[in-house]
A and B are shown apart, each in its own frame.
Chain A
Amino acid sequence: MARTRPEPVQVVKQRRDAALNAIVDGVPYIRFLDIGFDRRGDELTSVLNFDQKLIGNPLLPALHGGVTAAFLEVTAVITLSWEFLLPKIESGELNASDIADYEKVRFPKTVDFTVDYLRSGLPRDAYARAFISRAGRRYASVRVEAWQDNHAKLFAQASGHFLMPQPNVDGK
């Protein structure tokens, strides 16, 4: 049987970027912290753009522990949502415009989140990546790592549990 021709690269990129933007752009808190996402294939790296208002200890200075936690939690939820939604977007079941529709798309909910503060966050950009240890039908377990200048020296790591979006009673 003849293999179907692969889609043109710009079509794939446009579809995936539109979907990622639809997930991220609508969230005011992600804008408040100025977090961006760098997509390479199916891998996401989040970037926390430094700003003075993210400082927790003005004497050091260092990033606020709450900012670090929020950055890691945002990374976990967006990565989980992305992995959950990407197959539906690729198959054409969902469009980027559907993501704004509460009836069609729900996001995972955080059940618990534990943050390990390994060293103080420097007053500059930070990066994070989430690894989904397990995504079941109801629960997901996610680990997140955050670093700044040197990827080998994490400044924080976290792990958390999430409740996956449940299908409606009528199976949708």
Chain B
Amino acid sequence: MVDKAAIARQFIEAIPHARALGLKLTSIGNGEAGITMPYSKELVGDPRTGVIHGGAVFAALDTCCGAAVMSHPSAPGGTATIDLRIDYMRAATPGQTITTQATCYHITRNVAFVRATAMDEDEGLPVATAAGSFTVEGL
């Protein structure tokens, strides 16, 4: 039997841009994934406040959603984003790691549906939420 979680982890950690962002896969399996992104000065969007750029949060959420799709028991292998929407609730606190959590809540032969949240150390209110659809592809 193929260990999908192991394949997904290998796949995520081989992504050049995931490495550039310092993304770490913390949990994966059964259509759910968790990824962290450490604070980095390179990712700052407004140098006067030190807040991380929304685009970096988007990249972390997109990666996390893709990982969730690949870990779904009904997913045959790879995936690509069709559409992803992000709502930004508030600025991420400078200096804090961003934690993303994604759930692939439905999958068909062709499309996977995913939602996700991004948090910093204040878990009371998410930094951002995401919802999107992904392709379902063979290995």
Contact = CB atoms under 8 A, between A and B. Distances in A.
A69 B44 contact: no
B54 A57 contact: no
B1 interface: no
A172 B96 CA distance: 32
Contact of A113 (B16, B45, B86): B86
Given A64-B15, A64-B62, A110 B54 contact: yes
B83 A57 contact: no
Contacts of A115: 58, 81, 83-85
B123 interface: no
A102 B50 CA distance: 12
A65 B21 CA distance: 13
State which size class the interface on B falls in. 35 or more
Tell me whether chain A's interface is mostly helix, strand or loop, or mixed.
Answer: mixed
B15 A57 contact: yes
Interface in B77-91: 78, 80-88, 91
Contacts of B66: 65
A109 B88 contact: yes
Interface string A50-79: 001111111000101111011101100000
A66 B130 CA distance: 12
B17 A110 contact: no
A17 interface: no
A130 B130 CA distance: 22
A169 B29 CA distance: 50
Contacts of A116: 82-83
Given A28-B42, A52-B16, A120-B80, A69 B48 contact: no
Nearest 6 CB-CB pairings of A with B: A66-B59, A70-B55, A29-B53, A64-B17, A53-B20, A114-B85
Interface of B: 14-21, 41-49, 52-56, 58-63, 66, 78, 80-88, 91
